């Protein structure tokens, strides 16, 4: 009897707990809905605080909950929300200037350039841009170098040293552990799988990394040179000798203007705005201002629309979500946009290293169907490589930033193999087959000649199709020409313009301007896709009521070790032939 009482008590407790959780979620949803963007107040004589210490994505996708619409989310803090807010601030009489304060910017080089360009445009209004840093990373300084006055903490540190990247190689690890990757690839520069085949970097790989790193560094130096009036040769010397590593050295090198503490920085802004030192400076955060300005900058007089479809993340076969590009959500978005009579043109914004060859082909097909009805223009972000380039190649026009990484026209396939590991620990796999090719692959057996031949054939077929798709989509390039600049090699946007892989250098604004031009419209609204559907369980996980296994792993092994585990897991889970950027690059 006591046992039954304990069971009933436990069940009752669970029901009460779940009810309380649900009730709290309802209250949170109602409160969130009640706090409308109109409640954000911008005071006179305000400074816009451009603190970008959160992950910046091109698009903050609209998230909807079918069962609980009051929980729908559509925050306006994506890259282009930030840029639009900066543009709006230029004409907002309440905003007197922008403060870039202590950033550790979490964005790619092309994204950072896009924000920097928006700040340059903002300065044309005559309003000030100032910056302060306790610590300037190289990307922070690239952004902040646009400021009228750059402040640095007296004991602050600055990175200005040139670009670098590092790649781990696993060949010896495979031999020692007995766990290896079977690799089939096409393209001498397709180096995503090189770490499984070699112990050191190949000359081809070193060549392409050197070329695109120098390309990015050249762009950064040129822009810093223009903003700070420091010759490029002098900037190289500063980087080589680390002459910006302290506040004193940075000032002597003219990288910064003033050495001061943060309170002195704030006081200087007060003086510029005629605010007495005992009064509080009116500051509004960029995330709040983005939400505030969004509805105010809509063009309400036009029925015309341009769709912007964001393809951000690795390309996977399936539906996709806010972190991954699936043919499901992208193709639905393309279909909705082309069937909406009010939408006159489509801009496909790509920020993807590629992934599934099949999903890339399916998206390519939907673009092909769509451009027969409406113009499709591509805008490339930080990276639009391999499968990311595949889904771009047949657009009517392609825009890329000078610092975009693109190309990587190559193909590979990988299969994990544990034969040697199994032998070491005493596992033997035996197979029974009805036909000689019935067993196409076993984790416990190395690929035989026949299996490798068929996989190689599939990889070559995909490469031929890929290069033909590019040749058909790019005017002035035939398939042989594509193969000559393909081979898995990556290019900066500037180099891609020279070899015909892109049509023009520019950002999303330039792509939208061109889209409006070819659609022959002047005023228009922007309709953003995709819309992500979620369920309540995902929301509970997001709130931390249920912690995901990924979060637990990060806590246990640390973020850096988790990245390595995630990369190895990703490689073992890839199904089918892949069109993926050669490697996971972290430029430092």
Just list the catalytic residues. Answer: 190, 386
Task: Report the greatest alpha carbon distance in the chain.
Answer: 88
Q: Are strands 531-533 and 62-64 parallel, antiparallel or unpaired?
A: parallel
22 by DSSP, 3-state: which? Answer: helix
What one-character DSSP code corresponds to residue 297?
T
- Give the residue among 294, 326, 224, 372 at the shortest CA–CA distance from 528: 294
The beta-strand segments (E) located in 110-161 are: 128-136, 149-158
- Give the residue among 468, 497, 488, 462 at the shortest CA–CA distance from 480: 468
Return the structure tokens found at 455: 């996989």
Q: How far is CA 8 from the centre of its chain?
A: 50
Scanning 306-433, the segments in alpha helix (DSSP H) are 327-339, 357-371, 387-390, 419-425
What one-character DSSP code corresponds to residue 243?
T
Return the structure tokens found at 579: 């069109």
Residue identified by tokens 């392409």 is 208
The whole-angstrom separation of Cα 547 and Cα 555 is: 11
The whole-angstrom separation of Cα 468 and Cα 179 is: 36
Return the structure tokens found at 214: 């120098």
The whole-angstrom separation of Cα 311 and Cα 586 is: 21
Q: Classify residue 219 by burial, with Cβ atoms within 10 Å: 0-12, 13-18, 19+.
A: buried
The whole-angstrom separation of Cα 292 and Cα 57 is: 19
The whole-angstrom separation of Cα 18 and Cα 341 is: 45
N residues, the chain:
588
The whole-angstrom separation of Cα 273 and Cα 258 is: 19
The whole-angstrom separation of Cα 232 and Cα 221 is: 6
186-195: burial string, b at 16+ Cβ within 10 Å, e else: bbbbbbbbbb
Count CA atoms within 13 Å of residue 415 on its CB side. Answer: 19
- Give the residue among 526, 493, 497, 494 at the shortest CA–CA distance from 509: 526
Residue identified by tokens 């009116």 is 282
Q: Classify residue 56 by burial, with Cβ atoms within 10 Å: 0-12, 13-18, 19+.
A: buried
The whole-angstrom separation of Cα 82 and Cα 287 is: 8
Residue 163: its H or E element: none
The answer to whether the CB of 334 falls within 8 A of the CB of 293 is no
The whole-angstrom separation of Cα 115 and Cα 111 is: 6
């Amino acid at each position: 009897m006591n046992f039954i009482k304990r069971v009933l008590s436990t069940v009752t407790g669970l029901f009460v707990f779940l009810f309380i959780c649900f009730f709290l979620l309802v209250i949170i949803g109602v409160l969130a809905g009640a706090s409308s963007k109109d409640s954000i107040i911008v005071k006179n004589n305000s400074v816009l605080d451009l603190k970008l210490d959160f992950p910046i994505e091109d698009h903050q996708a609209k998230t909807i909950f079918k069962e609980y619409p009051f929980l729908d989310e559509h925050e306006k803090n994506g890259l282009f929300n930030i840029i639009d807010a900066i543009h709006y601030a230029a004409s907002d009489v309440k905003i007197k200037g922008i403060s870039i304060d202590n950033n550790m910017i979490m964005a790619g080089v092309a994204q950072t350039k896009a924000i920097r360009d928006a700040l340059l445009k903002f300065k044309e209004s005559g309003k000030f841009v100032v910056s302060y840093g306790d610590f300037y990373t190289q990307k922070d300084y690239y952004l902040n170098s646009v400021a009228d006055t750059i402040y640095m903490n007296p004991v602050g540190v600055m990175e200005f040293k040139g670009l670098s990247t590092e790649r781990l190689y696993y060949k010896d690890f495979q031999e020692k552990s007995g766990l290896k990757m079977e690799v089939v690839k096409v393209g001498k520069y397709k180096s995503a799988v090189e770490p499984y085949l070699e112990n050191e970097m190949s000359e081809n790989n070193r060549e392409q990394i050197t070329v695109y790193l120098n390309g990015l560094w050249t762009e950064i130096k040129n822009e810093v040179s223009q903003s700070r009036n420091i010759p490029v040769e002098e900037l190289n010397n500063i980087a080589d000798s680390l002459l910006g590593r302290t506040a004193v050295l940075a000032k002597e090198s003219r990288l910064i203007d003033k050495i001061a503490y943060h309170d002195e920085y704030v006081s200087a802004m007060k003086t510029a705005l005629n605010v007495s030192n005992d009064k509080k400076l009116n500051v509004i955060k960029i995330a709040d201002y983005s939400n505030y300005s969004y509805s105010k900058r809509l063009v309400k007089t036009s029925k015309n629309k341009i769709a912007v479809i964001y393809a951000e993340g690795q390309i996977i076969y399936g539906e996709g979500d806010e972190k991954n590009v699936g043919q499901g959500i992208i193709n639905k978005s393309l279909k909705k946009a082309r069937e909406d009579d009010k939408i006159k043109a489509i801009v496909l914004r790509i920020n993807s290293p590629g992934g599934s060859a099949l999903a890339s082909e399916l998206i390519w097909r939907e673009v092909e169907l769509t451009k027969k009805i409406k113009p499709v223009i591509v805008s490339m972000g930080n990276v639009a490589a391999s499968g990311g380039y595949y889904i771009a190649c047949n657009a009517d026009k392609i825009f890329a930033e000078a610092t975009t990484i693109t190309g990587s026209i190559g193909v590979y396939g990988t299969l994990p193999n544990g034969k040697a590991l199994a032998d070491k620990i005493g596992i033997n796999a035996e197979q029974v087959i009805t036909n000689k090719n019935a067993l196409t692959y076993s984790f416990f057996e190395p690929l035989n000649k026949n299996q490798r031949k068929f996989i190689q054939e599939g990889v070559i077929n995909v490469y031929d199709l890929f290069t033909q798709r590019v040749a058909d989509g790019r005017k002035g390039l035939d398939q042989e020409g594509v193969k000559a600049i393909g081979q898995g090699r990556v290019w900066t946007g500037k180099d891609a313009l020279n070899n015909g892989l892109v049509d023009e250098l520019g950002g999303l604004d330039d792509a939208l301007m061109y889209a409006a031009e070819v659609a022959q419209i002047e005023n228009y609204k922007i309709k953003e896709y995709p819309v992500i559907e979620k369920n309540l369980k995902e929301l509970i996980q997001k709130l931390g009521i249920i912690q995901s296994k990924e979060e637990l792993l990060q806590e246990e092994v640390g973020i850096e070790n988790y990245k390595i585990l995630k990369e190895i897991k990703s490689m073992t889970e890839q199904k089918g032939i892949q069109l993926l950027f050669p490697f996971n690059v972290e430029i430092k």
